[in-house]
Structure 1
Amino acid sequence: MASISRVKERAEEQSSAMSDDQQSAIRMLANDLHRLNQSVMKAVDAGVSVELVRSARHHSEGNWGDLMIPVIVTQSR
């Protein structure tokens, strides 16, 4: 439990140094990632393997972010 507490503490420290717009963008990203993870689990449960691969890197004013694509492998049943 101590490591979970430390992760939350570190996230709060980082977010306190961000602007409101940055905090909003991070919350939206976290929500979208949660939905993506749910979709990956649903696809795996349906019988496909899913790998997320970086397709490109987006740059803006010295910042960057990885853009992802799914690589899907279907399995015969």
Structure 2
Amino acid sequence: MFILHGTDDRTPAIAVETSRPRTRVRERAEEQATALTEAQQASIRTLANELHRLNHAVMEAVEAGVSVEFVRASRHHGGDGTFGDLMTPRITSAG
């Protein structure tokens, strides 16, 4: 329970997260990679690291006053039934 100055245990304050949200991209990717080959796991780690950087850049852009939405631009097919969505950002200004 969080209690701020001027409140008591009958009217507790609501905890407000002031830091950046944790997206757990890296952790989720590692959880999903348990049945993959070493090369596949390495590529997933690279993807997770880049997604983490992308998420950070999106948060910075939002804090700078723009809205960011990703839409699928195309789909890349690996030829053996695997595929990946290629994304492009749609940016709108708040002002």
Scaled by the length of structure 2, what TM-score is found? 0.65
Q: 1:32: which partner in 2?
A: 50
SS of residue paired to 1:56: strand
List alignment gaps of at least 5 residues for structure 1.
1-6
Q: 2:39: which partner in 1?
A: 21
Q: 1:71: which partner in 2?
A: 90
Greater percentage in helix:
1
CA drift at 1:38: 0.2
Scaled by the length of structure 1, what TM-score is found? 0.79
Percent of aligned pairs with the same amino acid: 54
Q: 1:45: which partner in 2?
A: 63
CA drift at 1:74: 1.0
SS of residue paired to 1:16: coil
14-23 or 41-50: bigger deviation: 14-23
Q: Taking CA–CA contacts closer than 8 Å with sequence separation of 6 or more, which of the two structures ends up with the larger relative contact order?
A: 1
List alignment gaps of at least 5 residues for structure 2.
1-26
Greater percentage in strand:
1
CA drift at 1:28: 0.3
SS of residue paired to 2:45: helix
SS of residue paired to 1:62: coil
**Which is greater in Rg?**
2
- Which string of whole-angstrom CA distances, capped at 9 and with x for unpartnered residues, describes residues 12-65 of structure 1? xx4232111000000000000000000000000000000011110100121001
